[in-house]
Amino acid sequence: MCGFAGYFLWKEGAPPPLHRALELLRHRGPDAARFWQSAEGQVGLAHTRLSILDLSEAAHQPLQLDSAWIVYNGEVYNFRALAEVNRFCPRTHSDTEVLLWAYKRWGEKFVEKLEGMFALALYDEGKKELFLARDAFGIKPLWVAVLPEGIYFASELKVLRVWLPKLQRRPEAVAEFLHLGFIPAPLSWYENVYKVLPGELWRISSDGFQRYLYYDRQRLWQMPKLTLSHADLKDALRAELRRAVREHLVSDVPVGLFLSGGTDSSLIAALAAEAGYKLKAFSIGFAEQTHNELPYAQAVAQHLGLPIDYEILGPQEALSLLPTLHSWYDEPFGDVSAIPTYLVSRLAARSVKVVLAGDGGDELYWGYGRYRWARRLSLVPGFWRRSASLVALAPNPRYKRVSELLRLPTQAVPEHIFSQEQYTFSWREVKELLPEVMGPWRTPYTLPSLAPEAQAAWDFLHYLPDDLLTKVDRASMQHSLEVRVPLLDKRAVALAWQIPPRYKYPRPGAEVQYKPFLRDILKDYLPASLVERKKWGFTVPLAQWLRGPLRDWAYAYAEPCFLSQAYGMRPEPVKRLWSRFDQGESFLATRLWLLTQIGVAAGVL
């Protein structure tokens, strides 16, 4: 795990200061910091290293093999198999050098051979070509600025902001953020700056650049469903996940795990324990018992015989972190669970350098309530649209929230359902705040017609990489902690998409049990009382905090006139939001939080 940055200039000009990039990315790699520039200064690569495999100086980066130089962030879990089968002769024991050997064998197609999480920049001095690539599912980040004189890239946006201080805010990014709670790739907060898409490769030379998908995620949900029995599918998935967990445990430093007590992290812990790894677990609890899942994490750890460390998060600690939140993400970021993720990462980093986490399970095995909504709303959408105004008249705040969900657009239904299930602004509400806005931005993917599967595909394309994985990467790397996600192993992901939808639907009953297929596997390791229980989610009591200790801070940034001056936002709808929230409509807390975040951005980004 590391941080890197660099540039490729096709016009004469002063190269950016690589030493400054090393300073800004030190938290991503505190163990070593180096940079390299080509003889003519046209290309530069900088790297900070968090040593996980081959801790020797020989594995420091930038690393060279013949005419190729590489800087790389992540872990490739099949590097030893690649080296052995193809008879590579690396001089180190690092996965980084194997990537250079793979490039020497297959050229730019080497990225198709890699299984793991990565972002990389590889420069071929002989061909004078630079390649930028990101892993198939967007686990690791990579930003690119495209300017007339050349291309600049970095693991974090803060480097490009310092190198290119004249960057201008992208107007449509404000609207997209309010709608989704994040800015969807390839967009960013700034004009001419892009997020490399998951599974994308850029080829750059003095003639310009080309970009293409070397791994197209769309093919996953186009794969035919398997006709195996439930029992055989369960055995097949268990075998893939066992393999994935074992491969993700390869390390020359101690490994731990995040344990919330939910299905995904508990299954990862169980599979690791089954393989003989009694990993130390780390968890976060909340002073407010309505959000405190810590007792379940403790019970899972006790059953599996795992040591567990934990901390309790209260509003005062959250308040102390809020002024620094923007510096972790470099653009507005709406997922308030970034705060407990930051704290559990800080806790883990005191003991280990690597943890396993359960990200990806909800999108692959249908763990969100919105998949039930997608199924209902797909049946008779016209009826639901006609019902929206009537439902809005009900005095109960819950029905007011549902009425906005029922206002289905004729297009972009998955993102609408997502926004309302997440309590963010519908596009209709965005237009009320920002009447001049165009959009919304649309995914280039063709989604399947089956509504719950379309919703899951949308989440997998956007919510997972642009929110959840982004959250974990930035929060953990603030403490130089590597987070690995076995559920997003390539082969395990492909199998998950081939499981028939009927096995993923929540079972009927008074208490809906999500992810029944994963739960069936987990029952072989844990008692039913720890498996068949209500889904919590890793979140914070935001409404309580916004009515209490965070109120003055939040209102200072989400004050109607301030937002009007900063973004041309109509103040009247903002005033109504605060009024409705004060009158008891607690679900509006997320909308107010998003306004707070762009208010902060107006002053510092």
CATH number at residue 70: 3.60.20.10
Query: What is the structure's pLDDT at 605?
Result: 64
Query: What is the structure's pLDDT at 541?
Result: 83
- The answer to whether residues 178 and 300 belong to one domain is no
Does 442 map to a domain? no
Cα dihedral sign for 378, 380, 381, 383?
Answer: negative
Q: How many CB atoms lie within 10 A of CB 456?
A: 29
- The answer to whether residues 600 and 502 belong to one domain is no
Does 24 map to a domain? yes
Rounded to whole angstroms, the Cα distance separating 22 from 70 reads 16
- The answer to whether residues 185 and 257 belong to one domain is no
- The answer to whether residues 160 and 104 belong to one domain is yes
Which of 411, 460, 461, 465 lies closest to 439 in space, CA to CA?
411
Does 495 map to a domain? yes
Query: What is the structure's pLDDT at 323?
Result: 77
- For residue range 441-454, list pLDDT tens digits in order: 666 566 766 788 99
CB 503 within 8 A of CB 516: yes
Query: What is the structure's pLDDT at 532?
Result: 84
Chosen domain end from 531, 554, 573: 531
Does 440 map to a domain? no
Does 240 map to a domain? yes
- The answer to whether residues 59 and 200 belong to one domain is yes
Q: Are strands 2-9 and 68-76 parallel, antiparallel or unpaired?
A: unpaired
φ/ψ of 438, rounded to 5, equals -100, 170
Query: What is the structure's pLDDT at 390?
Result: 74
Query: What is the structure's pLDDT at 58?
Result: 86
Chosen domain end from 192, 216, 240: 216
Cis peptide before 440 (omega within 30 of 0): yes
Beta bridge partners of 154: 5, 143
- The answer to whether residues 185 and 302 belong to one domain is no
Rounded to whole angstroms, the Cα distance separating 252 from 52 reads 6
Domain of 268, CATH number, reads 3.40.50.620
- The answer to whether residues 90 and 203 belong to one domain is yes
- The answer to whether residues 344 and 491 belong to one domain is yes
Q: How many CB atoms lie within 10 A of CB 471?
A: 24
Which portions of the chain are predicted below pLDDT 70? 288-291, 393, 441-446, 448-449, 506-512, 535-539, 605
**Chain-centre distance of CA 365, in angstroms?**
17
CB 131 within 8 A of CB 146: no
Query: What is the structure's pLDDT at 592?
Result: 97
Rounded to whole angstroms, the Cα distance separating 153 from 46 reads 10
Query: What is the structure's pLDDT at 593?
Result: 95
Range of the domain at 568: 541-605
On the 0-12 / 13-18 / 19+ scale of CB atoms within 10 A, 303 is middle
Express as a percent the part of the chain with pLDDT over 70: 95
What are the helix (H) ranges across 350-426? 361-365, 370-379, 381-392, 397-406, 413-421
Query: What is the structure's pLDDT at 53?
Result: 84
Region of 153 (left: φ > 0; alpha: ψ -120 to 50; beta: rest) is beta
DSSP code of 466? I
Does 110 map to a domain? yes
Chosen domain end from 156, 185, 216: 216
Query: What is the structure's pLDDT at 386?
Result: 76
Rounded to whole angstroms, the Cα distance separating 298 from 293 reads 9
- The answer to whether residues 203 and 231 belong to one domain is no
Which of 450, 280, 294 lies closest to 374 in space, CA to CA?
450
Which of 519, 464, 19, 446 lies closest to 237 in space, CA to CA?
519
- The answer to whether residues 495 and 597 belong to one domain is no
H or E stretch including 453? helix 451-458
Query: What is the structure's pLDDT at 375?
Result: 85
Does 84 map to a domain? yes
Rounded to whole angstroms, the Cα distance separating 317 from 321 reads 6
Rounded to whole angstroms, the Cα distance separating 192 from 206 reads 19
- The answer to whether residues 156 and 241 belong to one domain is no
Count of structural domains within the chain? 3
Rounded to whole angstroms, the Cα distance separating 335 from 182 reads 8
CB 598 within 8 A of CB 332: yes
- The answer to whether residues 211 and 310 belong to one domain is no
